Copies of this chain bind each other. A is one copy, B any other.
């Protein structure tokens, strides 16, 4: 089996079969990063470009490590050092990079749809590394891999996603991915942070965190992105009072419920420190699985089969 598209643009575009293919392939690559020699020659001579228009440690580093552990050549381009300062359009930058014969370009951009725009006009593969408020598919895939490794299967799990749903590309990608794989998803946050008509995506909605957490198998917290929309916010203290995941609230979830967060975390705002570092937290496993998922995607898009 192969992926039907040359690109990974969003969870919305992936079939359940493709998601399974990616997760299975990621499972088989996870072991590479635990070896003494963390490297396989699989993608030797391939060129992976990380084109990041937004700052990032974990996503860029994760893709770079995934590429290097597969022996590909990884090139980083970030806005601070790029000719973006010279006012080149995104499309011209993309076409210029295409002319350098990369195999895969990972794009992170503040504009929703930027990777899709690029993908349509270039021969090489494009991976969406996060676009505006739209999608962040590799995050959703690593989240799903993390849940599956812990719970055995995604099917029938009760998952709560809590925070600023409307402005979270992580939430959007997980809603598409988790519902597709048979999870029952409840989203929760202050009313202005819930997108209109989100129920049409097949999720339940509540503004009450206790209700959202009760009897869930997975509690996925979102990062409050102060740097993006500080203005539209009530006070942080107010937010934390109603939506911070603390011990009391987590106790409402099913025994052994997983606590997840895409990071970087705001300790004490969306998640209490003892919960972030606690027994039920799989936050660092998410990071570890991120490399495996990205290795799988680089491999599959390069024509590899499991």
Contacts and interface: CB of A to CB of B under 8 A. Distances in A.
A39 B73 contact: yes
A232 interface: no
Contacts of A99: 284-285, 287-288
A38 B47 contact: yes
A64 B75 contact: yes
Interface stretch (A82-90, A150-158, A193-201, A243-251): A82-90
A56 interface: yes
B69 A264 contact: no
Interface stretch (A29-37, A212-220, A252-260): A29-37
A306 interface: no
A83 B101 contact: no
Interface in A269-306: 284-285, 287-288, 290-291
A77 interface: yes
Contacts of A44: 37, 39
B88 A264 contact: yes
A226 interface: yes
A177 to B, nearest CB: 21
Interface in A66-107: 68-69, 73, 75, 77-78, 80-89, 92-93, 95-101
Contacts of A284: 95-96, 98-99
Interface residues of A, number: 60
A203 B162 CA distance: 59
Contacts of A47: 38, 65, 68-69
Contacts of A265: 88, 92
Interface in A22-72: 33-39, 44-47, 49, 52, 55-58, 60-62, 64-65, 68-69
A68 to B, nearest CB: 4
A17 to B, nearest CB: 27
Interface in A132-173: none
A89 B267 contact: yes
B55 A83 contact: yes
Contacts of A78: 81
A81 B82 contact: no
Contacts of A95: 284
Pairs A-B, 8 closest by C-beta atoms: A37-B45, A88-B264, A99-B287, A39-B45, A57-B83, A99-B284, A68-B73, A57-B82
